[in-house]
Structure formats: C-alpha cells, structure tokens
Amino acid sequence: MMNRPEARKQGRSQTIALAAFMLMQAVAAVFFVADATRDLFEKPPGAHSIIEALIAVTLVAGIFLAGWQLRLTLERMYAQEKALDTARGDFIRIIDAQFDDWGLTPAEREVGLLALKGLDISEIARLRGAAQGTVRAQMTRIYAKAGISGRAQFAAWFVEDLLGDGIGRPDDAA
C-alpha cells in the first residue's frame, strides 16, 4: 500500500506526464493547422484540403476537451483528498470520544489505536517496548471496558460508525 506522500508524488508525476503529452499534441496541432490553412489558401479548396481542415479542427477541439477533463479530474481529486482528510480527522475524534467514554488509560488508548490500525500483539509490544503479555492484558481490559468479546468486535464497533445508517441493523428489521 502506498503512503500519502508517495501517492501525491505519483499523482503529480502523472499530471506532469499528461500535461507534457498535451503540449506535444498542441505543437502537432499547430503544425497540422498551419499546413491545412496553407493548403486551403494556396490552391482551390478540394476534398483533401477540406478533410484536412476538419481533422485539424477536430484535433484542436480534442486538445481543449482533454485539457478541460484534466482540470475537472484534478479538481475532483483535490476535493476527494480534502474529504478524506476531513473523514480521517472525524474518525480520530470519534475514536478519542469513545475511548473517553470507555475510560481507557493512556496506555490502553495507545494499544487500542495500534490494534485498530491492524497491528498484532507482537508488533504492538515491539513498538511500545512492552512484553506481549502486557499488551494482551491491556487488550483484555479494553474489551472488558468496551463490553465486547474480542478484536473483531472491537474493530467492528468503529466500522459500524463509519458505515452509519447506510446499512440497516438486524434490530431495524423488526
């Protein structure tokens, strides 16, 4: 999985590549339009000259449409990135509020957050410089305070908040 700075760098690289490609198309279009214009004014317009002029107009229109679509895509990507940043912030606030409601200690909060990120007991222990047994005990206390039975329910509790009312709960059917 790509981290955010790498994804942004790749996105910029792709944008630059598309812009460079469009610049090459524009240079080719200028050459083609000049040639078609010269053909139309130097000789009496024939079928070849008219077709060449129509193709030149189509090429120029295509470049403008591609530029417009590129701009719209970049704006959409920017808006989605802002929405994702907002959602991340809101999700962290939801987690913090729930940890407060459960009365987790600072150590339990840290362990809980690392567990939500998908780290296993040994990884959490290594990161925190703690014994695996300590981390297991902290996770057990978190589950008890939350009123859940295990890691899957712990993660599901927060995922349910993310999904919101989009999916009906089993008790809603009644």
Class in CATH terms, 103-165 = mainly alpha
Q: Kindly list the distances between the CA atom of residue 169 and the CA atoms of 32, 70, 98, 173, in Å, as whole numbers in the listed order.
A: 62, 41, 20, 7
The pLDDT of residue 166: 44
Residue 3 has pLDDT above 80, yes or no: no
The model's pLDDT over 103-145, given as tens digits with 9 standing for 90+, comes to: 999 999 999 999 999 999 999 999 999 999 999 999 999 999 9
Residues 29, 56 contacting (CB under 8 angstroms): yes
Residues 62, 83 contacting (CB under 8 angstroms): no
Query: Which has the closest alpha carbon to 143: 117, 166, 165, 111?
Result: 111
Its sign, for the CA torsion 33, 35, 37, 39, is negative
Interval 87-105 mean pLDDT? 87
The pLDDT of residue 168: 45
The pLDDT of residue 100: 94
Which residue has better confidence, 110 or 4? 110
For residues 81 and 88, what is the distance between their CA atoms, to the nearest angstrom?
A: 10
Interval 42-56 mean pLDDT? 83
Interval 4-25 mean pLDDT? 80
For residues 5 and 143, what is the distance between their CA atoms, to the nearest angstrom?
A: 34
- How confident is the prediction for the chain on average, in pLDDT? 84
The pLDDT of residue 66: 86
Token pair, residue 7, equals: 């994804």
For residues 3 and 5, what is the distance between their CA atoms, to the nearest angstrom?
A: 6
Which residue has better confidence, 104 or 89? 104
Q: In this prediction, what percent of the chain has a pLDDT beyond 90? A: 32
